[in-house]
Amino acid sequence: MTRPFGVVMVSLHTSPLAQPGQGDAGGMNVYVRQLAITLAAAGHPVWVLTRRDRTGQRVEDLTVPDVPGAARARVVPVPAGPAADVPKEELPRWVDDFAAAAPGALTAAGGCHGDDCRWVVHSHYWLSGLAGMAVAGDLNAPIVHTMHTMAAVKNARDARSSESEEREAAEQQIAAAADLLVANTPAERDELRGHYGADPARIRVVPPGVDTSVFHPDGGAHWPGRPDGLKVLFAGRIQGHKGPQVAIRAAGLVNRRASGVPPVQLHLTGAHSGADELDLPALVSAAGLEGQCADSGPVSAQELAEVYRAADVVVVPSFSESFGLVALEAQACGTPVLAHRVGGLAYAVADGETGRLVDGLDPETWAQELERIVADLPAWRRMGQAAARRAGTFGWDAMAAHMSEAYEVLSADR
C-alpha cells in the first residue's frame, strides 16, 4: 500500500490567515493559503507551520472545497519567541527555536510521523527556508523552497533597500541545499541562477494563480474615492519598495499640468509595513494632490475585487516583484494595469494588450503614461476584456497540479 503523502508548508514570519496589505502580509500569504487549499482539495493533507503570535494561538483549519477525496489544510502555530507581533527584522534569532518546536507542534496537530507517511516540506521566504531545512531533516523529507523575494535582487534594484548580508548568505545556502527551487517566472529562474548560482536542473517555473471565483469582471463595483476623473488605484503595502510615492508624484504632475478639473483621482488601499515607512500626508502635500488622493486600510478579497472593477487603472510601480499578484487580480476583474517593467510584472502584464509596462520609475515617465490614458480612455478600457481573458489562464488548480507532480517525484525518491 502507498504510504500517505503529506505536505508541510513553512511560513515562519506570516500566517496565511493574515490580512494581505497589512503588516508583513501580502501576495505570499495569498499564495500559501491558496496553494494549501487547492492541494488539500486534490487529496493531499497540508499543514502550514507559522510562528505563534498574538492572533494565532491555536490550530485552525482553512476552508477546503467540499469535494470527494478532499483532505484537511491546517494552520499550526509554532512557539518561537514571544506570542506577540515581532518585527520581521528581529525574527532570525527565533529560527532555531521554531525548527526545534515544529515537529512537536506538527504531531500535536494530527500530522503523521515515522514510517507511516511520506512528507514533502515546502518553505516560503528565507526565514522559513532556514527553518524548513531543519524540519525536513527531522522528517527525512525533501525540501522545496520558494524565495518570493530575494535580497540580492532588492538591493540591486532599489537604492533604498538595505537587505542584510545575513539574508543574502542564507538565500545562497538555501539555493544550494534545496531539492527543488520554485520560481514564479522565467525571469526569477534567471535571477536564482545569476545571483545565487542555483543549479538549473533543480529549478522549476510554476506561475501562481488567481482566484477567479472572487476576481472576475462580473460583479459589484465600488470606488472609495471621489468619482470624477481618471480613477487610479494603488493596492498593496505602503512601503517605499512597493512604489506608492511614484504613483503620488506622477498623479501630482498630471494634475498640475492640466487645465480645469484635475484629471486624476488616486486611491491607495493598504497599510504601512516594515521599517521603510512613508509619510503619506507629506508626499501628497508635496505633490499638490490634496483633495485628489485618499487612502484606506486593507480590505477583504471580495471588497478589493469591487474596487478593482471600479478603477480605470491599477498601478504597480514596485522596484521589484517576483510576480505581482495585484496585477493579476486587477486584470482578472477586467481592469488594465500600468506596471513597472521588472521581474514577474513583465510576465504578468501583456504590454499593449492587457495594460502597459513602464521602463523605470521616474515619476515624469509615469505621468506621461497616465496622460496618454486620459487622452484616449476608451482605447485603454478596451484592453479590459483581454486582461480578464489572460488572467483567467492563471489558475490555482493548474499551479497545484504542477506542484503535486513535483512533490510526488521528490517524495518517491526517499
State the CB neighbour count (10 A cutoff) for residue 20: 26
Predicted confidence at residue 180, as pLDDT, reads 98
400 within 8 A of 36, measured Cβ to Cβ: no
pTM: 0.89
356 within 8 A of 379, measured Cβ to Cβ: no
369 within 8 A of 351, measured Cβ to Cβ: no
- Give the pLDDT means over successive 10-residue stretches in the chain (414 positions): 77 87 75 95 95 84 91 95 88 96 92 72 97 95 95 83 88 98 95 96 95 94 91 94 96 92 92 78 95 91 97 96 92 98 94 98 98 96 96 92 92 72
Predicted confidence at residue 1, as pLDDT, reads 41
Predicted confidence at residue 116, as pLDDT, reads 62
- As a dihedral over the C-alpha atoms of residue 83, residue 88, residue 94, residue 96, rounded to 10 degrees, the angle is 130
Interior/surface letters 25-45, b for 16+ CB within 10 angstroms, e for the rest: bbbbbbbbbbbbbbbbbbebb
Predicted confidence at residue 27, as pLDDT, reads 81
Predicted confidence at residue 22, as pLDDT, reads 62
Structural domains in the chain plus CATH codes: 5-209+395-412 (3.40.50.2000), 230-391 (3.40.50.2000)
Q: pLDDT, tens digit, for every residue of 68-101?
A: 999 999 999 999 999 888 888 899 999 999 999 9
